[in-house]
C-alpha cells in the first residue's frame, strides 16, 4: 500500500521537480560581468564556463560560476569556482567583492594583498565600462 501511494505521489509531481536542471540564467549581464572579473584576476584572455548562476534579486546582486582555463575543457575540468557581488543588478556594475575558491577579495578584507587584488580588478572593470 505504501509503495502504491508513493508511486501515485511521484507520478503527480511535475517532471521538472523530480529531475531539475541547473538554475537557468536570470541575468546574462551579471554573469558576463563575473566572467570579466575572472579573466582579469586570472590574467587570461578566455575562460570556459560550466554552471553559471546569477542572482539579481539578492542584496547585493551577484553571480557565481564554475570555470576552466583549459581551451579543450571537458565537463570534469570545471572544478574552479568564482562568486561576484556587485552594487546593483544592471549595468554599469561596480564590483563590491569576489571570491575564488575559498579566498575572498574586497575593500574590507583584512589581508592587505587581498584588498590590493580587489582594487586592481575593480580598476580594470571600471576602465572597461568607460570604453
Task: Classify residue 3: in a domain, yes or no.
Answer: no
What tens digit of pLDDT does each residue of 47-79 get? 999 999 999 999 999 999 999 999 899 988 899
Task: Classify residue 19: in a domain, yes or no.
Answer: no
Coil vs helix vs strand at 110 = coil
Task: Classify residue 50: in a domain, yes or no.
Answer: yes
Domain that holds residue 49: 30-130
Task: Classify residue 8: in a domain, yes or no.
Answer: no
Strand partners, 63: 54, 84
Task: Classify residue 113: in a domain, yes or no.
Answer: yes
Task: Classify residue 72: in a domain, yes or no.
Answer: yes
What counts of helices (H) and strands (E) characterise the chain? Answer: 4, 5
Task: Classify residue 46: in a domain, yes or no.
Answer: yes
pLDDT score of 18: 38
**Residue position matching grid coordinates 567583492:** 97
Alpha-helical regions (H) of the chain: 2-12, 15-18, 28-42, 112-130
Instruction: Tell me how many domains the chain contains.
Output: 1
Where the chain has pLDDT below 70, the residues are: 1-25, 131
Q: CA-to-CA distance for 109 and 66, rounded, in angstroms?
A: 23
pLDDT score of 107: 94
Q: Is the pTM of this model over 0.75?
A: yes
Task: Classify residue 41: in a domain, yes or no.
Answer: yes
**Angle at which helices 112-130 and 28-42 cross, to 10°:** 120
Q: CA-to-CA distance for 92 and 94, rounded, in angstroms?
A: 7
Amino acid at each position: 500500500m505504501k509503495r502504491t501511494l508513493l508511486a501515485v505521489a511521484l507520478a503527480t509531481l511535475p517532471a521538472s521537480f523530480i529531475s531539475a536542471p541547473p538554475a537557468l540564467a536570470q541575468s546574462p549581464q551579471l554573469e558576463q560581468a563575473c566572467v570579466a572579473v575572472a579573466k582579469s584576476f586570472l590574467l587570461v584572455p578566455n575562460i570556459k564556463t560550466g554552471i553559471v548562476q546569477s542572482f539579481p534579486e539578492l542584496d547585493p546582486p551577484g553571480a557565481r560560476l564554475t570555470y576552466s582555463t583549459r581551451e579543450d575543457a571537458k565537463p570534469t575540468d570545471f572544478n574552479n569556482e568564482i562568486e561576484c557581488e556587485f552594487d546593483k543588478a544592471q549595468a554599469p556594475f561596480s564590483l563590491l567583492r569576489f571570491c575564488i575558491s575559498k579566498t575572498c577579495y574586497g575593500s574590507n578584507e583584512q589581508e592587505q594583498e587581498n584588498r590590493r587584488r580587489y582594487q586592481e580588478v575593480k580598476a580594470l572593470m571600471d576602465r572597461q565600462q568607460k570604453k
